[in-house]
Amino acid sequence: MSQSEPVFDVKSFLASLPHLPGVYRHIDEQGQVLYVGKARDLKKRVSSYFQKTGHSPRIAHMVARVARVDVTVTPSEAEALLLENNLIKQLKPRYNILFRDDKSYPYLWLSGHDAPRMAYYRGSTQRPGQFFGPYPNAWAVRETMQILQRVFRLRTCEDTVYANRSRPCLLYQIQRCSGPCVGHISIEDYQQDVHQASQFLKGNTHEILEDIEQRMNEAAQALEFEQAAQLRDQMSALSRVLQQQTMEDVDGSDTDVVAVTLQSGKACVNLAMIRSGRHLGDRAFFPTHVDGDSEADVLEAFLVQHYLEQPIPAVVTVSPPPNDPDIIRLLASARGTRAKLLVRPQGMRRAWLDQAIQNAQLALSRALTEGGARHARTLALAQQLSLETDEQSLQQLRVECFDISHTAGEATQASCVVFQNHEMQPSLYRRYNIVGITPGDDYAAMRQVLTRRYGKVADGQSLLPDLVLIDGGKGQVEVARQVFEEYGLDVSVLVGVAKGENRKTGLETLVFADGRQSLVLGQMSAALMLIAQIRDEAHRFAITGMRAKRSRARQTSRLEDIEGVGARRRQKLLARFGGLRGVGDASVEQLACVDGISLELARRIYDAFHNG
């Protein structure tokens, strides 16, 4: 804090706070937001940090660093929840309990066609059709789809495949589809199966069995024995499914079961989803920044960050009870819906909660076993490179690694992969198309990608990572050093990974941009194994991107270079077959069906894709 800035007068500040709902932000001397919280009463909540003792080690450490507190008054506590969540997502404060923002959940989709398609789906649920879920993971969706295929034989094929079939596919042969594409079942009967599948997903199983039995008897009385046999088999398959699953009538309310467990400074939140009496599955979450926090603290952080992004079911059953008993009511109010909180469930809900607690404990035990090895590698890396080795620094240690990939200068791409929280972070990976350089000039490519990435750091748009790995030796590192010096960035974070003899893993040399002596760690080094893993991931990510780019470029040029295929014909071909891949897969006869494409031109197009 500079001498011209006033010293934070805690007593005067606390006296000025109102007894109103709002959000507060603890800020350090450098202006970094340390912690974001919401309060029903700002005066009471903020005062508790400075007037009480017995805080957790994490909060006590945070309070010691506070240089000022900013507050924002909101009209209601529900609006404070919304603002708090938005600020946490935006700022990612160091002392807030954070959950990774990867909570995208899949759905099972029955499309709105005359013969609806059943599909695994992620994304907006505003398109036509029926959506069921969300499911905790992809496996749960696909398991349910297999059940519906066995019992109701719904189609899963793409619309283009469905519209162009002349005979039934393999799924029909193995009795996993009823064949509406070729008329082996009428649209009316198929729609009846779709309706029953929908009722099954909604939990109305008794009504389905009664309906199938009635239709079977009617078919038998009408001497339609083949249809009666099909309905009998369907009822038998559905009965077997119901026997295999836990189906309980608990008033039909959709329920989420959330259990928290703590061990060795690490937390696990297990979310179990119950829809229409069916246990769809579990999903485990492992938050960061939980040092010294209670299970109730972790639970409340999860509830807020989760349910302001995801639908809230009618019932949320939790263990342990949250600090704020009104938290679910507030969240439901913020989302414009209604939900109730259960902390002492009975009957089947008690069994669900016990199972969720057990699953949380098992997941945490596995994570601790695996995390111990990951932690050891991160610690070894930090020690070898003289980085901070306290627990929080190791947890937040961010490594970015760059690689360049091309084929003889063609389709050059650079990759940036990120390692943090003791593991790779695929959602943070980035690819960069490299343009305007001499083909094959890896130094120019590296200069371009580093300029684009760390120009943002120089502009204050992002932070400099703790370590920047460059896949290359002294030449590549020198280019990186020049870029960093141009931007006034710390060159000590730059480390080159020079390949060893015969490119064998374990023989690499680490090259430092700040003049330190090059380092050979040896094949048994845990630090080098981690560096090699990050480097190899950067190489894999770069080369897959390069190959896709090269393939697109070659396919496009292949179509553009065909004599007689101008812009208009090219547009018609792409529209008719849905893209270059469709054009490449089309037969000569199919190509010739496109307006303006003669049989001779169709042969040339076919040969360009298959004999080029």
What is the CATH number for 594? 1.10.150.20
Q: Does 604 reside within a domain?
A: yes
Residues 422 and 514 in one domain: yes
The total number of structural domains in the chain stands at 5
CA 94, chain centre distance (Å) = 22
pLDDT of the residue at 222: 76
In a domain, 235, yes or no: yes
Q: Answer yes or no: do 39 and 58 share one domain.
A: yes
Residue 384 placed within a domain: no
Question: For residue 496, what is the domain's CATH number?
Answer: 3.30.420.340
Residues 483 and 403 in one domain: yes
Cα dihedral 360, 365, 369, 371 sign? positive
Give strand ranges (E) for 344-409. Answer: 399-407
**DSSP E strand stretches across 244-326:** 255-263, 266-275, 278-285, 315-319
Non-local CB neighbours of 440 within 8 Å, separated by 6+ positions: 406, 408, 409
Give the model's pLDDT for residue 269: 94
Residue-wise over 303-339: b if at least 16 C-beta within 10 A, else e? bbbbbbeeebbebbbbbebbebeebbbbbbbbbeeeb
At residue 321, the pLDDT reads 93
* Omega cis (within 30) before 18: no
In a domain, 386, yes or no: no
Dig out the tokens for 484 from the structure.
Answer: 């960093």
Last-in-domain residue among 193, 223, 244: 244
Q: Which amino acid is at 80?
A: A
User: Domain span at residue 492?
Assistant: 398-549
| Within-domain flag for 378 | no
- pLDDT value for 591: 87
pLDDT reported for residue 465: 93
Work out the angle at residue 232's Cα, subtended by the Cα atoms of residues 228 and 237, and round it to the nearest 5 degrees.
150
Q: Looking at 524, 549, 574, which one is the last position of a domain?
A: 549
Query: What's the rounded Cα separation, in Å, for the pair 242 and 244?
Result: 5
In a domain, 377, yes or no: no
29 and 122 inside one domain: no
* Same domain membership, residue 332 and residue 274: yes
For the record, the structure tokens of 331 come out as 């969240």
Same domain, 78 and 21: yes
Residue 100 placed within a domain: no
Final residue belonging to a domain, choices 549, 579, 601: 549
Spatial contact of 36 and 96, defined as CB atoms under 8 Å apart:
yes
Report the b/e string of 340-349 with b at 16+ CB within 10 A: ebbeebeebb
485 and 597 share a domain? no
Which residues of the chain register pLDDT less than 70? 1-7, 101-103, 205-206, 227, 231, 234-252, 407-411, 502-505, 545-561, 578-579, 611-612
Q: Are residues 426 and 338 in the same domain?
A: no
Residues 260 and 325 in one domain: yes
Q: What is the pLDDT of residue 608?
A: 77
Q: Give phi and psi for 247, each to the nearest 5.
A: -120, 115
| In a shared domain, residues 346 and 406 | no
Instruction: Tell me if 103 sits within 8 A of 306, measured CB to CB.
Output: yes
23: domain CATH number is 3.40.1440.10
Q: Determine the residue type at 120.
A: Y
Task: Identify whether 429 is part of a domain.
Answer: yes
* pLDDT given at position 1: 43
At residue 23, the pLDDT reads 95
Q: Are 43 and 145 in a shared domain? A: no
Same domain, 159 and 298: no
Report the candidate in 261, 421, 430, 441 with the shortest Cα–Cα distance to residue 353. Answer: 261
